[in-house]
Structure 1
Amino acid sequence: MTARAGVDGSRYDLWVEESDGLNALAAAGHIVAVTRRALRDLPTSQLGAVLAHELGHHTSGHSWSGTLGWWYAVPSRCAWRMLGRLRSRLRRSVRGASVTALIVVVVLAGYVAFTTLRATYGLPLLLLAVPCLAAAMGRQAELRADAHAARLGFGHSLALTLHERLAEQSAARPSEALCRPGARLLSRHPDLRTRLERLQKYL
């Protein structure tokens, strides 16, 4: 695969994960990992498509940028987690409260939020937006890695693999289309239908 991509194969390590899941990934440090099930069950052409996709992450620098993005987003994830816990506590504490008390709490919270944003020039909003931006970059990286595999001649094999995964997903979770928009917004992987649609121009 590295020879086909025109890169030095000695720079890359292939790791095999003893897992029954059908998965592969590119990790920083020129590592391509694939599960034992993928090696065992995927036809050669589809395995080649998966490896070409993961190699595309490396040749485009996605592995390092993804690792750095994950670390830079740690404060944002902590902030979101704190907000989630605060929301849960507020829900529990206001269950028996009167309407007047609720209005006072909402007005006070709004005032504190507005004052904080005004004093910090809106920087906390940027902090909260980082996970969404990182997820959007991750989705674009996946589409670019698909394009890399297709340009190496694995477009049909990759499309077949994605179709099979989509069929498995639909059988396991028929209501996937009703997934919460928030979960999709924070997902680092585009949905399979989007990936298949973007692959069409290479087929």
Structure 2
Amino acid sequence: MAVQTSPGQRRRVERSALSAFVPVIAMLPFSVLSLFLAWLPVGLLTDIPFVWVLLGFAATGPLLFIRNFQVLVLTPVLGARRPTAAEEAAIAPLWREIVMTSRLKPDHYVVRILPSDDLNAFACGGHLVVVTSFAVEELTTPELQGVLAHELSHHLGLHTVAITIGHWLSMPVVLFARIGVYLENVAKAARYAYGPDSPAIDALTNAAAVVVHAVSWIFTAGIRASATLSNLVSHQSEFDADQRAVRMGYGRELASALRRVLAAGQSPRPVGWRERIDASHPPARTRVARIEALLRHPAR
């Protein structure tokens, strides 16, 4: 069964894909600033211009979109693994049917398992779909297929592209934020250790802590602003992925899986890239209601 997409649906998908890049745009100036600070000592000692640092950083980013690189690098970073023989037997035929429905090659995407007692799944990078071991064990075959269709929909909607770029841009920002926190703690420790014996040291370390805290706050604010925007955008991304799964013919299965989440009293929460994959999910009850509405009145 081929997925039919109306012009209105295509426009909504395009708007959703564009909105997913809003957090990336918010992170960009902070990323450039952190790269500039990293270049400063290099620029003072060498003739390397800052533009080469920017070009080098931009050139290495596309590696994250290479399928084999994602499988080799992101899989261990996420804490995921290959499916066991039993898990592969449960997933492979379902996945093959889903990707054929979307007229894709079965090996374009890779499914990996995250050992976890949570009922969850997520899409990452441009090729990875990660499902928890608990989800594979506890969901029925139709429910698991509905979940897989939803995660594939994130890839088809280009939601994971923006997230991946955002993670890449945030790496130098996170590094400087952590360095700032570390240096602030060092300054405070020096103040407490030596300040009482020397007013000069007390004033110097206090001033250093204030300055470092201010610099660190700038980078932390950039991370939080981007994360907040990402959470706002991700709500619509989840709804769009649900809608696509309904159009693919897996709406009832996905709604059934979400009811499992409700019955277990568990809200889908982000897992993987550990805390950095933090796209906030809307309430499962809301998603079920919207899916049921779409099943009764398909979007035009």
Matched residue SS, 1:9: coil
Q: Give the deviation of 1:82 after TM superposition.
A: 0.5
1:195/1:2 CA distance change after superposition, 3 Å: farther
Does 1:129 pair with 2:221? yes
The amino acid that maps onto 1:93 is A
The 1-side partners of 2:279 and 2:150 are apart by 13
Q: Give the deviation of 1:149 after TM superposition.
A: 4.6
Identity %: 19
Does 1:15 pair with 2:103? no
Aligned equivalent of 1:91, options 176, 188, 198: 188
The amino acid that maps onto 1:196 is A
The 2-side partners of 1:74 and 1:18 are apart by 23
Q: Give the deviation of 1:35 after TM superposition.
A: 3.9
Deviations 1:155-183 (A, max 9, x none): 632432432564499xxxxxxxxxxxxxx
The 2-side partners of 1:196 and 1:133 are apart by 25
Deviations 1:23-43 (A, max 9, x none): 433233433232444223212
The amino acid that maps onto 1:159 is L
The 2-side partners of 1:108 and 1:36 are apart by 48
Of 11-20 and 104-113, more deviation after overlay is shown by 104-113
1:64/1:82 CA distance change after superposition, 3 Å: same
The amino acid that maps onto 1:85 is Y
The 2-side partners of 1:141 and 1:65 are apart by 11
1:164/1:83 CA distance change after superposition, 3 Å: farther
Q: CA RMSD in A?
A: 3.8
The amino acid that maps onto 2:228 is A
1:189 maps to 279
Q: Give the deviation of 1:58 after TM superposition.
A: 0.5
1:113/1:167 CA distance change after superposition, 3 Å: closer
- Asked if structure 1 preserves the Cα contact closer than 8 Å seen for 2:125 and 2:161, the reply is yes
Structure 1: unaligned runs, 5 residues or longer: 118-123, 170-183
- Asked if structure 2 preserves the Cα contact closer than 8 Å seen for 1:134 and 1:188, the reply is no
The 2-side partners of 1:21 and 1:111 are apart by 44
1:160 maps to 259
1:91/1:111 CA distance change after superposition, 3 Å: closer
1:82/1:13 CA distance change after superposition, 3 Å: same
2:287 maps to 199
- Asked if structure 2 preserves the Cα contact closer than 8 Å seen for 1:52 and 1:148, the reply is no
The amino acid that maps onto 1:19 is P
Does 1:146 pair with 2:242? no
Structure 2: unaligned runs, 5 residues or longer: 1-97, 269-274, 293-300
Aligned residues: 175
Q: Give the deviation of 1:113 after TM superposition.
A: 7.9
